[in-house]
Amino acid sequence: MALPYNHYYKLSLSALNLKKSGSLHSHPICCVQCNSNVSSSPFTEKHSLKRYQRDHWVYNSNNQELLSLNSDDRAASCSVPSDSDSIRLNDITLQLPELRKLLEVLKHKRENCGGQVPKNGPGNVFLVGTGPGDPDLLTLKAVKVIKKADLLLYDRLVSNAVLDLVGPDARLLYVGKTAGYHSRTQEEIHELLSSFAEAGANVVRLKGGDPLVFGRGGEEMDFLQQPGIQVKVIPGITAASGISAELGIPLTHRGVATSVRFLTGHSRKGGTDPLFVAENAADPDSTLVVYMGLSTLPSLAQKLIHHGLPPDTPVAAVFAELEDLADKIKTAELVSPTLIIIGKVVALSPFWPQSSIEASCLVEA
């Protein structure tokens, strides 16, 4: 049995091969918490059976047997706490032994190939953007790096189709985050990247969209570069570009929108108020693209209108005018991730109601 997370895991992950777990849990943790009934998704849902099958190497043999059972048999085989934090800690506990083993294998391999381990290991970390999920939209360099990786840490919004490109000998590890459930904290992800790079691995951090657009890639670069680990960034198509292209919305257009601005609608600690909406964001001649803004949308729309953006400004999440957007999104029952594009250019989309008439008027104006 393992020590509680916040006592054990704050030790550097590079020490996993040296530290032995204690026995402070009163009950054994016996299996993964997976759900074979998760609805079909192009992405990796946090407790989907497919996720655990993909990451099978990091769980012990007993849990692999459990993964082959149907949901009723699996429920009868073990009991797992239902709260999200206990599930997360349970998952980490199950993974630690195999993570230690992989670190040992990589270190041994490097020592045999190159003698004594240098102070800053030869492994590289690649921050790879996988775009909106279509593997045909990956860069050639991204595909090459994905196929040659030793270990890939992937997010929820990396599509199954992209993950199918991973080489047969590579190891995959899910580090995805959803509202209310982070399989790994950002600090834990930093330690994983650092420890395996120092052990000589070619580590790939797979992110949806672009790593440096609301992807926390800058934080990971900063953490890794401090001890001298080389980090290379391979850009991807960010959601703003991918979705606007799919909908036929030009983010800038001569005479309609002279600039585009990317905003986060995310609120700290799950609140309903946008983290930051500046007065100058409400510019009718600019296009606003809001990432992670679904939960804060009602407040966001009110603030933009208050600061001068016309209530009838066209918006795409569902196609609507700004003043009606919150109600229409609620009716459509949209869920995260949802991108919101706000501005007159939305009316240029061929999918916008009466688009040909409004587009003609906009361009003539």
Q: pLDDT tens, 211-226?
A: 999 999 999 999 999 9
Task: Give the pLDDT confidence score for residue 183 in this predicted structure.
Answer: 86
Distance CA 48, CA 220 (A): 27
CB atoms within 10 A of CB 123: 22
The residues assigned a catalytic role are 155, 177, 292
- Which residues lie across from 125 on neighbouring strands? 203, 231
Q: What percent of the chain has pLDDT over 70?
A: 72
Q: In the chain, what is the greatest distance between 2 CA atoms, to the nearest angstrom? A: 74
Residue 266 predicted with pLDDT over 80: no
pLDDT in tens, 139-181: 999 999 999 999 999 999 999 999 999 999 999 999 998 877 7
Would you place residue 40 in the very low, low, confident or very high pLDDT band (cuts 50, 70, 90)?
Answer: low
DSSP codes, 130-146: -BTS-GGGS-HHHHHHH
Check residue 27 and report its DSSP letter. Answer: S
Burial level of 169, CB count in 10 A (0-12/13-18/19+)? exposed
Average pLDDT over residues 44-48: 70
pLDDT band at 363 (very low <50, low <70, confident <90, very high): very low
- Could you give the CA distance from residue 3 to residue 341 in angstroms, rounded to a whole number? 46
Instruction: Provide CB contacts within 8 A for 312, sequence distance 6+.
Output: 321, 322, 323
Q: Confirm if 151 and 173 have CB atoms less than 8 A apart.
A: yes
**CA–CA distances in Å: residue 127 to residues 152, 171, 187, 211:** 10, 16, 16, 6
pLDDT at 54 over 60: yes
Angle at 162 between CA 157 and CA 166, to 5 degrees: 120
Of these ranges, 48-52, 229-233, 306-310, the one predicted with the greatest mean pLDDT is 229-233
Mean pLDDT across the stretch 103-113? 78
φ and ψ at residue 154, rounded to 5 degrees:
-120, 150
Q: Under DSSP, is residue 285 helix (H, G, I), strand (E, B) or coil? A: coil
Q: What is the mean pLDDT of residues 285-304?
A: 90
Report the chain's mean pLDDT, rounded to a whole number: 78
